């Protein structure tokens, strides 16, 4: 852990001075003025940047019968279910500190039990997974260089990027080997693209394909301005629309890791709401389109303490315009616990400024993890009390009370009945479920084989009616 914290400090000390990027931002941008300029090469920039972009291999344990598909059915033990490790994924990553911190995408390593990092000079390292965040699709790995030098990419200031800037995308598409492509920044602050729960992406037309995930988007000064994450394509290949996580969001994640001693805790406001549509804007007599309409305020929370009310419309945070729920969510997620933000709020015809002091989400009530026993459809599942902290941990935005299924073992009664980890149980046999204790009482008092459950699942309401 000590080396991990030192590595983060190296990144934040060296990579976040933004010197190179600020110089680039202040320099005059110009198109090529002659045939000689058009013939200039990106080769020196590639030689500088590419060594810090690595290949990532994951391996996972799988169970197979030595007799193929017949072993389990015909013979059972001892011939069934022998375990072996197989390679399941390949992606890219970026070394961001000489101490061996590697940034990649969560989806690159999510299914693996072992992770291997391979440098362009063929050096191989077994990596330790330090941090994963499915909501933002980020992961942080640690490799041990054992005293050897490692190439690194410094984090640039992605807020200084402009549409039209030239960029290079470096990664390992389709596993063919390290590849560099060139393009421009096509758009900024892309939200609501269906990639992650939290995100505001840099869009580029530099060719990005499967295997590029986790690789580098580099500016013309050799600074890392984004982590290539996804493409928009109906064929699975590059269609000229790729998305990268901004470097500043990566930097804030590293700061949060440092502040949390190896654990990322993102701030919260304690509000739920929705996009302001044009029709809503007309009803509210609000000039312009966009904004975040507050539907509920959790008590206690930073928003409640600051005086945010149901019906308020948040127009901006720290002068950054808020046009949608996705932008609101990203603005908070890219801040740090302890930060102060100024919210511009529209309320009953007036525009007021409200100071928000961002805090960590509380774990109230305690989670009280319980594995359910007894004769009922949820037998074998583990459940916990929801709280703002648990909601953030499980990527359940806005669900701060109730009971959530934390684990459903394979082969259990609950799994066979179709219950899933992440299901929020709202009622059982028409009884409102607010705590684990409520659920245990309801399950224990049932006297019929007929069961009914109402669940929240992935933003949808699901009704289960079972006979068990």
3-state SS, residue 365: coil
The active-site residue, picked from 97, 207, 213, 387, is 213
How does strand 101-104 pair with strand 82-95?
antiparallel
Q: How far apart, in whole angstroms, are the C-alpha atoms of residue 181 and residue 197?
A: 28
Task: Please confirm, yes or no, whether 137 is among the known catalytic residues.
Answer: yes
Q: Which residues pair with 126 in a beta bridge?
A: 116
Task: Please confirm, yes or no, whether 213 is among the known catalytic residues.
Answer: yes
- CB–CB of 220/24 below 8 Å? yes
- CB–CB of 117/214 below 8 Å? no
Element of type H or E holding 352: strand 350-357
Q: Which residues pair with 292 in a beta bridge?
A: 275, 314
Pick from 315, 278, 279: nearest CA to 294: 315
Q: What is the dihedral of CA 175, 56, 137, 4, to 10 degrees?
A: -160
Element of type H or E holding 307: none
Rg (CA), the chain: 25
Q: What is the dihedral of CA 80, 81, 82, 86, to 10 degrees?
A: 140
Task: Please confirm, yes or no, whether 107 is among the known catalytic residues.
Answer: yes
Q: How far apart are the first and last CA of the chain?
A: 48
Task: Give, in order, the Cα–Cα distances in Å from 76 to each of 65, 120, 182, 358, 426.
Answer: 9, 45, 55, 56, 40
The active-site residue, picked from 21, 49, 136, 137, is 137
Q: How far apart, in whole angstroms, are the C-alpha atoms of residue 59 and residue 368?
A: 34
The active-site residue, picked from 107, 207, 301, 412, is 107
Buried residues in 189-213 as b, exposed as e (16+ CB within 10 A): bbbeeebbbbbbbbbbbbbbbbbbb
Angle between helix 247-259 and 2-10 (nearest 10): 140
What are the residue numbers of the active site?
107, 137, 213
């Amino acid at each position: 852990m000590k080396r991990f914290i030192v590595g983060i400090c190296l990144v934040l000390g060296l990579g976040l001075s933004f010197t190179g990027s600020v110089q680039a931002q202040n320099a005059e941008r110009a198109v090529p003025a002659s045939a000689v300029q058009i013939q200039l090469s990106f080769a020196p920039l590639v030689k500088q940047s590419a060594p810090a972009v690595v290949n990532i291999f994951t391996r996972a344990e799988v169970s197979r019968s030595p007799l193929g598909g017949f072993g389990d059915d015909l013979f059972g033990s001892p011939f069934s279910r022998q375990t072996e490790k197989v390679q399941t994924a390949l992606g890219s990553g970026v070394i961001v500190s000489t101490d061996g911190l590697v940034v990649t995408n969560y989806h690159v390593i999510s299914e693996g039990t072992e992770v291997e990092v391979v440098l362009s000079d063929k050096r191989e390292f077994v990596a330790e997974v330090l941090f994963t965040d499915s909501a933002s699709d980020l992961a942080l790995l640690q490799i041990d260089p054992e005293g050897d030098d490692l190439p690194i990419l410094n984090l640039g200031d992605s807020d200084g990027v402009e549409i039209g800037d030239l960029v290079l995308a470096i990664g390992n598409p389709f596993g063919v080997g390290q590849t560099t492509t060139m393009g421009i920044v096509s758009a900024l602050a892309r939200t609501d693209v269906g990639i992650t729960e939290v995100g505001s992406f840099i869009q580029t037309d530099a060719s990005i394909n499967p295997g590029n995930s986790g690789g580098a988007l580099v500016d013309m000064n050799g600074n890392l301005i984004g982590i290539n994450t996804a493409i928009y394509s109906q064929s699975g290949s590059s269609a000229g629309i790729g998305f990268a996580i901004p470097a500043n969001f990566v930097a804030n994640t590293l700061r949060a890791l440092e502040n949390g001693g190896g654990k990322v805790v993102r701030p919260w406001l304690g509000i739920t709401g929705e996009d302001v549509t044009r029709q809503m804007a007309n009803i509210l007599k609000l000039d312009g389109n966009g904004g975040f309409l507050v539907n509920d305020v959790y008590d206690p929370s930073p928003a409640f303490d600051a005086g945010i009310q149901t019906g308020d419309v948040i127009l901006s945070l720290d002068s950054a315009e808020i046009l949608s729920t996705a932008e609101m969510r990203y603005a908070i997620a890219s801040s740090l616990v302890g930060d102060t933000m100024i919210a511009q709020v529209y309320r009953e015809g007036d525009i007021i400024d409200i100071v928000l002091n961002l805090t960590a989400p509380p774990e109230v009530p305690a989670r009280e993890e319980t594995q359910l026993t007894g004769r009922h459809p949820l037998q074998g599942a583990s459940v916990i009390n929801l709280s703002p902290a648990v909601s953030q941990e499980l990527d359940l935005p806005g669900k701060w009370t109730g009971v959530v299924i934390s684990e459903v073992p394979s082969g259990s009664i609950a799994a066979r009945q179709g219950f899933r980890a992440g299901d929020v149980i709202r009622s059982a046999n028409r009884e409102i479920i607010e705590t684990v204790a409520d659920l245990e009482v309801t399950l224990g008092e049932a006297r019929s084989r007929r069961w009914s459950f109402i669940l929240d699942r992935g933003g949808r309401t699901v009704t289960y009616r079972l006979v068990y």
